[in-house]
Structure 1
């Protein structure tokens, strides 16, 4: 089950267990929060759209931390006036863990499994740069391992083709002396012209 919520003037698609970064919210780390501005719900019963909000729907979350975001550089310049100014800004933001979704006759809760991840991994996941990997997606990766074992066989076949090309290369070199033999008579032709010139004299 998933939901689209609105907070801080932005919209976020969330599902139980997700970690998201939103504009700064009041509260201490570990505080429970609830969002009533639910724009859309999706689940087993289908998709429910709000007009603009879904009445009675809510999304529960836990405040993980409040921190400063990445630095934004501000550079101002007026050409030919010697005016240059550089500043930086770090916006305050809150990291949330979605714990539950309720509405449209359905409820979904996060099972509470704690996945061990570093702060850097949490940052990437919160910004959507490192999507969650389900167990079903991880299994095909294990099946792909035998394909890597088959790769050396292809590499072994590649040198064989190089050898065949190497055998074909000397045959081309044998053709080269014939071309030189054809060029030799062309050099004799100017000598004949010189003899004709001598006869005319």
Structure 2
């Protein structure tokens, strides 16, 4: 029983431990990709261009902290940053305006990294490590990729192939550094009706 004035503790979870786990030799495991190489996005699928700028501003009137925004706009759940049709493909050009690495993360649909242009102040070893991390293996499906300081990353994304897998609705993309995201470096976008000139969902 609990002391007077305090609520009685409530069981939250029950854990049952079975047999002891055995060590697994990782060399014996074969990992298969979720999507085959034949599913790679083709140039003819790209029907729209999306440009996104991850910015760290220093407006002294908003001090003492820097402002983490996307396209000059802090996150607002009511604001739709971009709109794309379902059953289409888009090329995103992601840029960073300062000496900041930003891991770009997007929900719902994976993407493929097509190119990365590190900033003009980046040392050669940094450029090589950054590009190899983002571009190898080629056409790997991802949901997160780095945007280099003063640089850009280009990705291709497909929003479903058929009506059965073309999800529609509002979702988000953001910097995956939690302190950047929590301070406003996030934006909502809308995947709309796939019919030509159809109303957005």
Which bin holds the TM-score, normalised by the shorter protein?
under 0.3
With structure 2 as the length reference, what TM-score do the two structures score?
0.17
Q: TM-score, normalised to structure 1's length? A: 0.17
Compare relative contact order (CA 8 Å, sep 6+) and give the higher one, 1 or 2: 2
* Greater helix fraction, Structure 1 or Structure 2: 1
